[in-house]
C-alpha cells in the first residue's frame, strides 16, 4: 500500500477480532512511532503497552466501556513525558556521543533549556501532549501500512489509567490507540470540502 492508500483505507475501528498481532510487527510499529517528528527532537512521550486480558478489562470501564479496549490485540497508551529537563540532558549526551562538538551545540542546548524554563508545568504538559499526538499519527497510519487496524481514542479517563497502570506523576496518559484486526466494516468516509479546510 502506498501512503495515499494507507490514509484512505485507515479508519477508526470500533471492534477487533481479538487475534494477537505478531510481536515482530508490533515492534515495527514501535519503530515508526519512535521515528516520529518532535519539537527540538525531544521526543517527550512514553508508550505504555497493555496486552493482557485482565488489565484490558480493568481499563474498559475507564474507557466508557468502548469495545475496542477489550477486543484489541495491543493497547498503546500514549503518555506525555513532562520531565523535559532530563530529556534535554539525554539529547545533549546523545549528540555529544554522536560526535557533535560541545561548543557548536551550546547555543542549541541553551535554546532548549530557555524554552523549557519559560514554560509553566501546565504549558509543559500541553507541549508534551502535542508531541504525543504526532506519534499517534504515525501509529494509526503505520498500523494500516503494516496490515492491521487501529482506533485513536480520547474517550478514557487519564487519571484512572495512571492509577490503574501505576504510572508516575510525570508520565501522563494523553491518548490511547488500540491496535488489532478489525471485526467491523468501515463507514463511508465523511470529510468537509477541500475549500473548507483552507483558512
Ligand atoms: C484524538 C482522537 C480521539 C478519538 N477518540 C475516539 C474515541 O474515544 N472512540 C472512538 O470510537 N473513536 C474515536 N476517534 C475516532 C474519530 O471519531 C474518527 O477518527 C473520525 O470520526 C473520522 O473517522 P475515520 O478515522 O474512520 O476516518 C478519535 C479520533 C481522534 C483523532
Q: What is the pLDDT of residue 178?
A: 98
Q: What is the pLDDT of residue 84?
A: 98
12 Cβ inside 6 Å of ligand 1:
yes
Q: How confident is the model over 60-109, as pLDDT tens digits?
A: 999 999 999 999 999 999 999 999 999 999 999 999 999 999 999 999 99
Q: What is the pLDDT of residue 55?
A: 98
Q: Provide CB contacts within 8 A for 185, sequence distance 6+.
A: none
Cell 477489550 sits on residue: 70
CATH number of 3-83+125-183: 3.40.109.10
- Region 134-159: what's the mean pLDDT? 98
- Region 129-150: what's the mean pLDDT? 98
> Residue 163, SS3?
helix
- Quick one: CA dihedral 8, 66, 44, 124, positive or negative? positive
Q: How far is CA 109 from CA 1, 18, 35, 115, 177, in A?
A: 40, 46, 21, 10, 33
189 Cβ inside 6 Å of ligand 1:
yes
**Nearest alpha carbon to residue 68 among 17, 25, 103:** 17
In terms of pTM, does the model score above 0.95?
A: yes
135 CA to centre of ligand 1 in angstroms: 15
Domain residue spans in the chain?
Answer: 3-83+125-183
Amino acid at each position: 500500500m502506498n501512503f495515499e492508500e494507507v490514509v484512505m483505507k485507515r479508519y477508526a475501528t470500533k471492534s477487533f477480532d481479538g487475534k494477537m498481532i505478531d510481536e515482530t510487527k508490533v515492534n515495527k510499529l514501535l519503530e515508526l512511532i519512535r521515528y516520529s517528528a518532535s519539537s527540538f527532537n525531544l521526543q517527550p512521550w512514553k508508550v505504555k503497552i497493555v496486552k493482557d486480558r485482565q488489565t484490558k478489562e480493568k481499563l474498559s470501564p475507564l474507557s466508557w466501556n468502548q469495545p475496542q479496549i477489550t477486543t484489541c490485540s495491543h493497547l498503546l497508551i500514549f503518555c506525555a513525558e513532562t520531565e523535559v529537563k532530563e530529556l534535554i540532558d539525554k539529547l545533549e549526551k546523545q549528540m555529544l556521543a554522536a560526535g557533535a562538538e560541545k561548543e557548536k551545540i551550546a547555543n542549541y542546548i541553551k535554546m532548549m533549556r530557555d524554552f523549557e524554563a519559560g514554560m509553566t508545568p501546565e504549558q509543559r504538559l500541553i507541549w508534551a501532549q502535542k508531541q504525543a499526538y504526532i506519534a499517534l499519527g504515525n501509529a494509526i497510519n503505520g498500523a494500516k501500512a503494516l496490515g492491521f487496524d487501529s482506533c485513536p481514542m480520547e474517550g478514557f479517563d487519564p487519571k484512572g489509567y495512571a492509577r490503574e497502570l501505576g504510572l508516575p506523576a510525570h508520565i501522563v496518559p494523553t491518548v490511547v490507540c488500540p491496535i488489532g484486526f478489525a471485526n467491523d466494516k468501515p463507514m463511508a468516509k465523511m470529510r468537509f470540502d477541500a475549500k473548507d479546510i483552507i483558512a
